[in-house]
Structure 1
Amino acid sequence: MTRVHDMGGRFGDGPVRPDPEDAPVFAEDWHGRALAVTLAAGALGQWTLDRSRHARECLSPKDYTAFSYYEKWLGGLAALLVEQGVVTRDELAGRAEPAPSPLSGRRLPVAAVPRVLASGGPTGRDGPTPRFAVGDRVRAMRPARNVAVPGGHTRLPAYAAGAVGEVVLLHGCHVFPDTNAHDMGEAPEPLYTVRFDAGELWGAPERAGDTVSCDLWESYLEPVA
Protein backbone atom coordinates (compact mmCIF):
# COMPACT_ATOMS: atom_id res chain seq x y z
CA MET A 1 0.00 0.00 0.00
CA THR A 2 1.23 3.50 -0.73
CA ARG A 3 0.88 6.66 1.32
CA VAL A 4 -0.95 9.71 0.04
CA HIS A 5 2.31 11.58 -0.61
CA ASP A 6 3.33 9.08 -3.33
CA MET A 7 1.33 10.77 -6.08
CA GLY A 8 3.59 10.87 -9.14
CA GLY A 9 1.71 10.30 -12.37
CA ARG A 10 -1.71 10.49 -10.77
CA PHE A 11 -4.59 11.67 -12.93
CA GLY A 12 -7.00 14.37 -11.81
CA ASP A 13 -4.67 16.87 -10.17
CA GLY A 14 -4.44 19.14 -13.21
CA PRO A 15 -1.35 20.45 -15.00
CA VAL A 16 1.90 21.35 -13.27
CA ARG A 17 2.26 25.13 -13.28
CA PRO A 18 5.83 26.24 -12.45
CA ASP A 19 6.29 29.55 -10.66
CA PRO A 20 7.51 32.41 -12.86
CA GLU A 21 11.24 33.08 -12.76
CA ASP A 22 10.74 36.34 -10.86
CA ALA A 23 8.61 34.74 -8.15
CA PRO A 24 9.79 35.41 -4.57
CA VAL A 25 11.68 32.67 -2.76
CA PHE A 26 8.88 32.49 -0.17
CA ALA A 27 5.31 33.19 -1.24
CA GLU A 28 4.38 34.09 2.36
CA ASP A 29 6.53 35.52 5.16
CA TRP A 30 5.74 32.59 7.44
CA HIS A 31 7.18 30.13 4.88
CA GLY A 32 10.68 31.39 5.66
CA ARG A 33 9.99 31.08 9.38
CA ALA A 34 8.78 27.50 8.88
CA LEU A 35 12.03 26.62 7.11
CA ALA A 36 14.07 28.30 9.86
CA VAL A 37 12.26 26.47 12.66
CA THR A 38 12.68 23.13 10.86
CA LEU A 39 16.43 23.69 10.41
CA ALA A 40 16.87 24.82 14.01
CA ALA A 41 15.00 21.77 15.33
CA GLY A 42 17.01 19.44 13.10
CA ALA A 43 20.20 20.80 14.65
CA LEU A 44 19.10 19.34 18.02
CA GLY A 45 20.19 15.93 16.71
CA GLN A 46 17.06 14.06 17.76
CA TRP A 47 16.22 12.59 14.36
CA THR A 48 17.66 12.00 10.91
CA LEU A 49 16.64 13.63 7.65
CA ASP A 50 15.06 10.35 6.56
CA ARG A 51 12.99 10.19 9.72
CA SER A 52 11.79 13.76 9.20
CA ARG A 53 10.66 12.86 5.69
CA HIS A 54 8.77 9.86 7.04
CA ALA A 55 7.09 12.07 9.64
CA ARG A 56 5.59 14.20 6.86
CA GLU A 57 4.53 11.07 4.98
CA CYS A 58 2.69 9.87 8.09
CA LEU A 59 0.35 12.85 8.18
CA SER A 60 -3.25 11.71 7.79
CA PRO A 61 -4.51 11.74 4.18
CA LYS A 62 -7.05 14.41 5.16
CA ASP A 63 -4.35 16.70 6.53
CA TYR A 64 -1.81 15.93 3.80
CA THR A 65 -4.19 16.90 1.00
CA ALA A 66 -5.40 20.01 2.84
CA PHE A 67 -2.01 21.33 3.97
CA SER A 68 0.21 23.55 1.85
CA TYR A 69 3.87 22.61 1.36
CA TYR A 70 5.22 24.31 4.48
CA GLU A 71 2.21 23.27 6.54
CA LYS A 72 3.27 19.69 5.81
CA TRP A 73 6.74 20.54 7.09
CA LEU A 74 5.35 21.98 10.31
CA GLY A 75 2.95 19.08 10.79
CA GLY A 76 5.77 16.56 10.55
CA LEU A 77 8.01 18.66 12.78
CA ALA A 78 5.36 18.95 15.48
CA ALA A 79 4.95 15.17 15.51
CA LEU A 80 8.71 14.63 15.86
CA LEU A 81 9.07 17.18 18.66
CA VAL A 82 6.38 15.44 20.71
CA GLU A 83 7.53 11.88 19.88
CA GLN A 84 11.07 12.68 21.00
CA GLY A 85 9.95 14.45 24.15
CA VAL A 86 11.51 17.75 23.10
CA VAL A 87 8.21 19.48 23.89
CA THR A 88 4.87 18.31 25.25
CA ARG A 89 1.55 18.55 23.45
CA ASP A 90 0.42 21.15 25.97
CA GLU A 91 3.55 23.25 25.42
CA LEU A 92 3.10 23.03 21.68
CA ALA A 93 -0.55 24.09 21.96
CA GLY A 94 0.25 26.98 24.31
CA ARG A 95 -1.60 25.38 27.23
CA ALA A 96 1.54 25.11 29.40
CA GLU A 97 4.60 27.23 30.05
CA PRO A 98 7.62 25.84 28.18
CA ALA A 99 10.09 24.14 30.52
CA PRO A 100 13.84 24.74 30.16
CA SER A 101 15.25 22.18 27.75
CA PRO A 102 18.47 20.20 28.25
CA LEU A 103 18.93 20.56 24.49
CA SER A 104 19.23 24.34 24.62
CA GLY A 105 23.00 24.12 24.29
CA ARG A 106 22.58 22.52 20.86
CA ARG A 107 20.66 25.44 19.41
CA LEU A 108 21.72 26.63 15.95
CA PRO A 109 23.19 30.16 16.22
CA VAL A 110 22.21 32.59 13.49
CA ALA A 111 25.84 33.11 12.51
CA ALA A 112 26.27 29.38 11.87
CA VAL A 113 23.32 29.02 9.48
CA PRO A 114 25.18 29.86 6.21
CA ARG A 115 27.94 27.36 7.03
CA VAL A 116 25.48 24.63 7.98
CA LEU A 117 23.43 25.12 4.83
CA ALA A 118 26.53 25.18 2.64
CA SER A 119 27.89 21.95 4.13
CA GLY A 120 24.58 20.12 3.70
CA GLY A 121 24.23 16.59 5.05
CA PRO A 122 26.59 14.30 3.12
CA THR A 123 25.32 10.71 2.97
CA GLY A 124 28.23 9.06 1.12
CA ARG A 125 29.71 6.12 3.03
CA ASP A 126 31.96 3.11 2.48
CA GLY A 127 29.92 0.09 1.47
CA PRO A 128 29.64 -3.03 -0.66
CA THR A 129 30.80 -3.35 -4.26
CA PRO A 130 28.06 -2.30 -6.72
CA ARG A 131 26.13 -5.13 -8.30
CA PHE A 132 25.25 -3.12 -11.43
CA ALA A 133 27.23 -1.05 -13.92
CA VAL A 134 26.37 1.80 -16.26
CA GLY A 135 24.41 0.41 -19.20
CA ASP A 136 22.81 -2.46 -17.26
CA ARG A 137 19.07 -2.95 -17.62
CA VAL A 138 17.29 -3.25 -14.28
CA ARG A 139 13.77 -3.61 -12.99
CA ALA A 140 12.48 -1.64 -10.00
CA MET A 141 11.04 -3.73 -7.18
CA ARG A 142 7.29 -4.28 -7.16
CA PRO A 143 5.48 -3.26 -5.05
CA ALA A 144 7.34 -0.16 -3.89
CA ARG A 145 7.66 -0.77 -0.17
CA ASN A 146 9.99 -0.91 2.80
CA VAL A 147 10.83 -4.61 3.21
CA ALA A 148 12.13 -4.15 6.78
CA VAL A 149 9.30 -2.05 8.27
CA PRO A 150 5.70 -2.57 7.10
CA GLY A 151 4.40 0.80 5.97
CA GLY A 152 7.85 2.29 6.52
CA HIS A 153 9.74 4.94 4.60
CA THR A 154 11.12 4.20 1.14
CA ARG A 155 12.53 6.34 -1.65
CA LEU A 156 11.27 4.07 -4.43
CA PRO A 157 8.27 5.89 -5.96
CA ALA A 158 5.20 3.79 -6.66
CA TYR A 159 5.05 4.92 -10.29
CA ALA A 160 8.43 3.25 -10.96
CA ALA A 161 7.59 -0.07 -9.29
CA GLY A 162 7.99 -2.93 -11.77
CA ALA A 163 9.31 -0.67 -14.53
CA VAL A 164 12.44 -1.52 -16.54
CA GLY A 165 15.14 1.10 -17.03
CA GLU A 166 18.85 1.58 -17.68
CA VAL A 167 21.58 2.46 -15.18
CA VAL A 168 23.15 5.72 -16.36
CA LEU A 169 25.14 6.82 -13.27
CA LEU A 170 26.72 5.20 -10.23
CA HIS A 171 27.01 7.42 -7.14
CA GLY A 172 28.95 5.14 -4.81
CA CYS A 173 27.43 3.96 -1.52
CA HIS A 174 25.02 6.10 0.48
CA VAL A 175 22.98 5.84 3.66
CA PHE A 176 19.96 3.59 3.05
CA PRO A 177 16.83 5.62 3.90
CA ASP A 178 14.60 2.59 4.47
CA THR A 179 16.55 1.68 7.62
CA ASN A 180 17.86 5.11 8.61
CA ALA A 181 14.33 6.52 8.90
CA HIS A 182 13.51 3.94 11.57
CA ASP A 183 16.62 4.05 13.79
CA MET A 184 17.84 0.75 12.31
CA GLY A 185 21.24 2.04 11.23
CA GLU A 186 22.64 3.64 8.09
CA ALA A 187 23.21 0.33 6.22
CA PRO A 188 24.91 2.08 3.26
CA GLU A 189 24.53 0.51 -0.17
CA PRO A 190 25.16 1.47 -3.82
CA LEU A 191 23.02 4.26 -5.26
CA TYR A 192 22.29 4.52 -9.00
CA THR A 193 20.56 6.88 -11.38
CA VAL A 194 18.19 4.80 -13.49
CA ARG A 195 16.63 6.26 -16.63
CA PHE A 196 13.15 5.07 -17.61
CA ASP A 197 11.33 5.69 -20.85
CA ALA A 198 8.23 7.73 -20.06
CA GLY A 199 6.11 5.20 -21.93
CA GLU A 200 7.37 2.47 -19.60
CA LEU A 201 6.08 4.46 -16.62
CA TRP A 202 2.92 6.14 -17.88
CA GLY A 203 1.84 4.08 -20.89
CA ALA A 204 0.90 7.19 -22.87
CA PRO A 205 3.69 9.81 -22.54
CA GLU A 206 3.13 13.39 -23.65
CA ARG A 207 6.02 13.09 -26.13
CA ALA A 208 7.72 10.01 -27.56
CA GLY A 209 11.31 9.75 -26.36
CA ASP A 210 10.72 11.52 -23.01
CA THR A 211 12.54 9.91 -20.09
CA VAL A 212 12.40 10.06 -16.31
CA SER A 213 15.51 9.54 -14.16
CA CYS A 214 15.29 8.23 -10.58
CA ASP A 215 18.05 7.84 -7.98
CA LEU A 216 17.50 4.33 -6.61
CA TRP A 217 19.30 2.18 -4.05
CA GLU A 218 20.49 -1.30 -4.97
CA SER A 219 17.85 -3.01 -2.80
CA TYR A 220 15.19 -1.52 -5.04
CA LEU A 221 16.56 -3.13 -8.20
CA GLU A 222 16.88 -6.51 -9.88
CA PRO A 223 18.72 -7.44 -13.10
CA VAL A 224 16.93 -7.83 -16.43
CA ALA A 225 18.36 -10.42 -18.79
Structure 2
Amino acid sequence: MRVLLVEDEPLIADFVAKGLREAGHGVDHAATGTDGLHLATHETYDALVLDRMLPGLDGLELLRTLRASGHRTPVLMLSSLGEVEQRVTGLRSGADDYLAKPFAFVELMARLEGLLRRQASGPETLTRLRVADLEMDLLKRSVKRGGQSLDLQPREFRLLEYLMRHAEQVVTRTMLLEAVWDYHFDPQTNVIDVHVSRLRQKIDRDRGPPLLHTVRGAGYLLGTRA
Protein backbone atom coordinates (compact mmCIF):
# COMPACT_ATOMS: atom_id res chain seq x y z
CA MET A 1 0.00 0.00 0.00
CA ARG A 2 1.27 3.46 -0.90
CA VAL A 3 0.04 6.22 1.39
CA LEU A 4 0.18 10.01 1.24
CA LEU A 5 0.35 11.49 4.73
CA VAL A 6 -0.54 15.18 4.98
CA GLU A 7 0.18 16.27 8.54
CA ASP A 8 1.90 19.38 9.90
CA GLU A 9 2.58 18.17 13.46
CA PRO A 10 6.10 16.63 13.33
CA LEU A 11 5.58 14.18 16.19
CA ILE A 12 2.36 12.78 14.75
CA ALA A 13 3.77 12.69 11.23
CA ASP A 14 6.86 10.79 12.37
CA PHE A 15 4.76 8.41 14.48
CA VAL A 16 2.37 7.54 11.63
CA ALA A 17 5.02 7.38 8.90
CA LYS A 18 7.26 5.15 11.01
CA GLY A 19 4.39 2.78 11.81
CA LEU A 20 3.31 2.50 8.18
CA ARG A 21 6.83 1.87 6.95
CA GLU A 22 7.43 -0.75 9.63
CA ALA A 23 4.26 -2.45 8.39
CA GLY A 24 5.79 -2.59 4.91
CA HIS A 25 3.96 0.29 3.26
CA GLY A 26 5.31 3.18 1.21
CA VAL A 27 4.75 6.68 2.61
CA ASP A 28 5.12 10.17 1.15
CA HIS A 29 4.75 13.05 3.60
CA ALA A 30 3.60 16.64 3.07
CA ALA A 31 3.58 19.18 5.91
CA THR A 32 1.27 21.72 4.23
CA GLY A 33 -2.04 21.51 2.42
CA THR A 34 -0.52 23.06 -0.69
CA ASP A 35 2.23 20.44 -0.90
CA GLY A 36 -0.29 17.71 -0.14
CA LEU A 37 -2.56 18.79 -2.99
CA HIS A 38 0.41 18.86 -5.38
CA LEU A 39 1.47 15.31 -4.46
CA ALA A 40 -2.10 13.98 -4.51
CA THR A 41 -2.70 15.30 -8.01
CA HIS A 42 0.68 14.33 -9.48
CA GLU A 43 1.27 10.92 -7.88
CA THR A 44 -0.78 7.77 -7.42
CA TYR A 45 -1.70 6.56 -3.93
CA ASP A 46 -3.81 3.78 -2.47
CA ALA A 47 -4.94 5.98 0.42
CA LEU A 48 -4.55 9.45 1.92
CA VAL A 49 -4.19 10.20 5.62
CA LEU A 50 -5.18 13.85 5.85
CA ASP A 51 -5.05 16.23 8.81
CA ARG A 52 -7.98 18.60 8.95
CA MET A 53 -6.16 21.76 10.09
CA LEU A 54 -3.16 22.50 7.87
CA PRO A 55 -1.04 25.53 6.96
CA GLY A 56 -1.26 26.79 3.41
CA LEU A 57 -4.48 25.04 2.51
CA ASP A 58 -7.03 23.70 4.97
CA GLY A 59 -7.57 19.94 4.92
CA LEU A 60 -11.27 20.28 4.11
CA GLU A 61 -10.54 22.57 1.18
CA LEU A 62 -7.85 20.19 -0.07
CA LEU A 63 -10.32 17.32 0.11
CA ARG A 64 -13.10 19.20 -1.64
CA THR A 65 -10.67 20.18 -4.42
CA LEU A 66 -9.62 16.55 -4.92
CA ARG A 67 -13.18 15.26 -5.01
CA ALA A 68 -14.30 18.03 -7.37
CA SER A 69 -11.52 17.05 -9.79
CA GLY A 70 -12.61 13.41 -9.79
CA HIS A 71 -10.09 11.86 -7.39
CA ARG A 72 -11.66 8.86 -5.66
CA THR A 73 -8.68 7.77 -3.56
CA PRO A 74 -9.87 6.67 -0.07
CA VAL A 75 -9.24 9.40 2.53
CA LEU A 76 -8.88 8.94 6.28
CA MET A 77 -9.16 12.35 7.95
CA LEU A 78 -7.37 13.10 11.22
CA SER A 79 -8.37 15.87 13.58
CA SER A 80 -8.31 17.01 17.17
CA LEU A 81 -11.85 18.23 16.51
CA GLY A 82 -13.76 15.19 17.67
CA GLU A 83 -17.29 16.59 18.01
CA VAL A 84 -20.01 14.93 15.93
CA GLU A 85 -20.68 18.11 13.92
CA GLN A 86 -17.02 18.37 12.92
CA ARG A 87 -16.91 14.71 11.92
CA VAL A 88 -20.04 15.07 9.82
CA THR A 89 -18.55 18.09 8.04
CA GLY A 90 -15.43 16.10 7.21
CA LEU A 91 -17.40 13.14 5.89
CA ARG A 92 -19.68 15.36 3.82
CA SER A 93 -16.63 17.02 2.30
CA GLY A 94 -15.57 13.67 0.86
CA ALA A 95 -13.67 11.85 3.62
CA ASP A 96 -14.27 8.09 3.76
CA ASP A 97 -13.52 7.82 7.46
CA TYR A 98 -12.63 10.11 10.36
CA LEU A 99 -10.24 9.47 13.25
CA ALA A 100 -10.01 11.86 16.21
CA LYS A 101 -6.69 12.62 17.90
CA PRO A 102 -5.19 11.19 19.99
CA PHE A 103 -5.40 7.74 18.44
CA ALA A 104 -3.68 4.37 18.59
CA PHE A 105 -1.71 3.37 15.51
CA VAL A 106 -3.40 -0.04 15.45
CA GLU A 107 -6.75 1.72 14.99
CA LEU A 108 -5.42 3.93 12.19
CA MET A 109 -4.07 0.84 10.45
CA ALA A 110 -7.34 -1.06 10.87
CA ARG A 111 -9.33 1.84 9.44
CA LEU A 112 -7.02 2.14 6.42
CA GLU A 113 -7.32 -1.58 5.75
CA GLY A 114 -11.08 -1.27 6.02
CA LEU A 115 -11.14 1.55 3.45
CA LEU A 116 -9.09 -0.49 1.00
CA ARG A 117 -11.30 -3.55 1.43
CA ARG A 118 -14.38 -1.45 0.83
CA GLN A 119 -12.90 -0.02 -2.34
CA ALA A 120 -11.82 -3.44 -3.59
CA SER A 121 -15.22 -5.03 -2.97
CA GLY A 122 -17.03 -2.33 -4.96
CA PRO A 123 -20.82 -2.44 -5.01
CA GLU A 124 -21.05 -6.18 -4.28
CA THR A 125 -23.21 -6.92 -1.26
CA LEU A 126 -22.32 -9.84 0.96
CA THR A 127 -25.20 -11.93 2.28
CA ARG A 128 -23.13 -14.57 4.10
CA LEU A 129 -20.10 -14.22 6.35
CA ARG A 130 -17.86 -17.09 7.45
CA VAL A 131 -14.95 -17.42 9.88
CA ALA A 132 -13.72 -21.00 10.35
CA ASP A 133 -16.90 -23.01 11.16
CA LEU A 134 -18.82 -19.91 12.26
CA GLU A 135 -21.41 -18.81 9.67
CA MET A 136 -23.72 -15.80 9.51
CA ASP A 137 -26.62 -15.42 7.08
CA LEU A 138 -27.39 -11.70 6.85
CA LEU A 139 -30.69 -12.21 5.02
CA LYS A 140 -32.09 -14.79 7.44
CA ARG A 141 -30.42 -13.05 10.41
CA SER A 142 -29.15 -16.42 11.59
CA VAL A 143 -25.83 -17.65 13.00
CA LYS A 144 -24.45 -21.18 13.17
CA ARG A 145 -21.25 -22.70 14.45
CA GLY A 146 -20.38 -26.22 13.40
CA GLY A 147 -23.86 -26.47 11.91
CA GLN A 148 -25.57 -25.69 15.23
CA SER A 149 -27.79 -22.61 15.47
CA LEU A 150 -26.90 -19.87 17.96
CA ASP A 151 -29.49 -17.66 19.62
CA LEU A 152 -28.17 -14.08 19.58
CA GLN A 153 -29.79 -10.88 20.79
CA PRO A 154 -29.97 -8.03 18.20
CA ARG A 155 -26.99 -6.17 19.68
CA GLU A 156 -24.97 -9.39 19.88
CA PHE A 157 -25.77 -10.08 16.23
CA ARG A 158 -24.64 -6.59 15.24
CA LEU A 159 -21.45 -6.96 17.28
CA LEU A 160 -20.65 -10.33 15.74
CA GLU A 161 -21.37 -9.05 12.23
CA TYR A 162 -18.86 -6.22 12.69
CA LEU A 163 -16.24 -8.61 14.08
CA MET A 164 -16.77 -11.05 11.21
CA ARG A 165 -16.46 -8.28 8.63
CA HIS A 166 -13.08 -7.49 10.25
CA ALA A 167 -11.99 -11.08 10.77
CA GLU A 168 -8.35 -11.69 11.71
CA GLN A 169 -7.90 -7.99 12.54
CA VAL A 170 -7.65 -6.18 15.84
CA VAL A 171 -10.82 -4.13 16.41
CA THR A 172 -10.55 -1.38 19.02
CA ARG A 173 -13.13 -0.37 21.60
CA THR A 174 -13.57 2.98 19.83
CA MET A 175 -14.41 1.22 16.58
CA LEU A 176 -17.00 -0.95 18.32
CA LEU A 177 -18.57 1.98 20.16
CA GLU A 178 -19.01 3.86 16.90
CA ALA A 179 -20.10 0.97 14.67
CA VAL A 180 -22.24 -1.10 17.04
CA TRP A 181 -23.54 1.40 19.62
CA ASP A 182 -23.41 4.60 17.50
CA TYR A 183 -21.45 6.34 20.27
CA HIS A 184 -18.94 8.96 19.17
CA PHE A 185 -17.59 9.27 22.69
CA ASP A 186 -16.54 6.89 25.45
CA PRO A 187 -19.50 6.44 27.84
CA GLN A 188 -17.09 5.16 30.51
CA THR A 189 -19.11 1.95 31.03
CA ASN A 190 -18.34 -1.74 30.65
CA VAL A 191 -21.01 -2.20 27.97
CA ILE A 192 -18.50 -3.63 25.48
CA ASP A 193 -16.97 -6.04 27.98
CA VAL A 194 -20.41 -7.36 28.97
CA HIS A 195 -21.54 -7.96 25.39
CA VAL A 196 -18.23 -9.49 24.31
CA SER A 197 -18.36 -11.82 27.30
CA ARG A 198 -21.91 -12.94 26.44
CA LEU A 199 -21.02 -13.37 22.77
CA ARG A 200 -17.91 -15.38 23.65
CA GLN A 201 -20.02 -17.74 25.78
CA LYS A 202 -22.38 -18.35 22.87
CA ILE A 203 -19.89 -18.85 20.04
CA ASP A 204 -16.93 -20.43 21.86
CA ARG A 205 -18.11 -22.39 24.90
CA ASP A 206 -17.89 -26.15 24.19
CA ARG A 207 -17.81 -25.43 20.45
CA GLY A 208 -14.21 -26.09 19.51
CA PRO A 209 -11.15 -23.82 19.32
CA PRO A 210 -11.94 -20.29 20.59
CA LEU A 211 -12.52 -17.69 17.90
CA LEU A 212 -13.12 -14.50 19.90
CA HIS A 213 -9.91 -13.24 21.49
CA THR A 214 -9.05 -10.26 23.69
CA VAL A 215 -5.88 -8.50 22.57
CA ARG A 216 -4.52 -6.89 25.70
CA GLY A 217 -4.20 -3.11 25.43
CA ALA A 218 -5.59 -3.04 21.89
CA GLY A 219 -9.07 -4.54 21.56
CA TYR A 220 -10.59 -7.74 20.21
CA LEU A 221 -9.95 -10.13 17.35
CA LEU A 222 -12.26 -12.68 15.78
CA GLY A 223 -10.38 -15.42 14.00
CA THR A 224 -8.24 -18.50 14.22
CA ARG A 225 -5.21 -16.63 15.54
CA ALA A 226 -4.89 -14.82 18.86
Task: Give TM class, smaller chain.
Answer: under 0.3
Bigger relative contact order (CA 8 A; separation at least 6) = 1
Which structure shows the higher strand fraction? 2
Q: TM-score, normalised by structure 2?
A: 0.23
